[in-house]
Amino acid sequence: VAWIKRMFGLSKAGHGGTLDPKVTGVLPVALEEATKIIGMVVHTPKEYICVMQLHEPVEEKKLLEAIKVFTSTIYQRPPLRSSVKRSLRTKTIYEIELLEYTGRYALMRVLCDPGTYMRKLCHDIGLYLGVGAHMRELRRTKSGPFREAYGLVKLQDLSEALYRWKQEGKDDLLRKYILPMEYAVAHLKKVVIRDSAVDAIAHGAHLAVPGIARLHADIKKGDVVAIF
């Protein structure tokens, strides 16, 4: 984030959820005014591809049984090397898919709540199996509406796109890499308001029915929505 701020000469930038050192993958970064809504991405489910090393081989059937046990709401205490307070908390693991297994190394896809530690999950699966385990590699493939398969950009690419714009006046790559902030709320239900209501809403007024042009049909009390 600091590199991107310096590169573009920005006053504000913020990221959508910390990645531990040596972890690769998706890290949404909001620029300037978009930092106000990056919290909508921080608190969304995350998907990881993880390599877990078991300290002793176990049968695949046993590993699959353990994975099934952990695909639920679990207790977790953040590991010693973490940036948050080490208090016990509950996290939900929505999916664990075993992609490949060699007897010692398990390649897994995990969909989970934000703030779930894969390092701790691997350790706990190892304890459950009675053989011990640790995380070898980790890559985040999805963070809220942002996914690895679409729109993933390297810092090097961003730097070259900026150079192209400054030196050649071509902004095609920048427009490809820097998405409109509407993408950050793509996963939320929407309420589209009339032009006549925009000024009042922007100054803190409540939204009333006459100001609504269209909206998602299944909005319930307590839902977070995006107003367009």
pLDDT band at 17 (very low <50, low <70, confident <90, very high): confident
Q: Quick one: pLDDT at residue 179?
A: 93
DSSP structural state of residue 150: B
Question: Which distant-in-sequence residues (6+ apart) come within 8 Å of 119 by Cβ?
Answer: 20, 79, 134, 135, 138
CA 59, CA 128: separation in Å to the nearest integer?
A: 14
Same domain assignment for residues 63 and 110: yes
Query: Residue 9: which CATH number?
Result: 3.30.2350.10
Examine the residue annotation and report whether 199 is marked as an active-site residue of this protein. Answer: no
* Mean pLDDT, rounded, for 98-114: 96
* Final residue belonging to a domain, choices 143, 173, 201: 143
Q: Does 85 have pLDDT greater than 80?
A: no
pLDDT averaged over the chain? 93
Same domain assignment for residues 177 and 202: no
* Mean pLDDT, rounded, for 46-61: 97
Same domain assignment for residues 33 and 50: no
Q: Quick one: pLDDT at residue 19?
A: 87
Closest CA to 122 of 16, 18, 20: 20
* Mean pLDDT, rounded, for 202-222: 94
How many domains does the chain contain in total?
3
Same domain assignment for residues 93 and 171: no
Q: Which helix (H) or strand (E) holds 112?
A: strand 105-112
* Mean pLDDT, rounded, for 190-214: 94
Same domain assignment for residues 68 and 82: yes
Q: Does 82 have pLDDT greater than 80?
A: no
Closest CA to 63 of 107, 118, 112, 120: 107
Same domain assignment for residues 136 and 70: yes
pTM of the full structure = 0.88
H helices of the chain, where?
2-8, 39-42, 60-70, 118-129, 155-168, 172-177, 195-202
Residue 116, token pair as written in the block? 């779930």
Distances (CA, A) of 224 to 19, 78, 155: 25, 28, 32
DSSP helix/strand/coil, 9: coil
Pairing mode, strands 212-215 and 189-193: antiparallel
Q: Quick one: pLDDT at residue 83?
A: 67
Question: Which distant-in-sequence residues (6+ apart) come within 8 Å of 104 by Cβ?
Answer: 53, 54, 56, 57
> What range defines the domain where residue 195 resides?
188-227
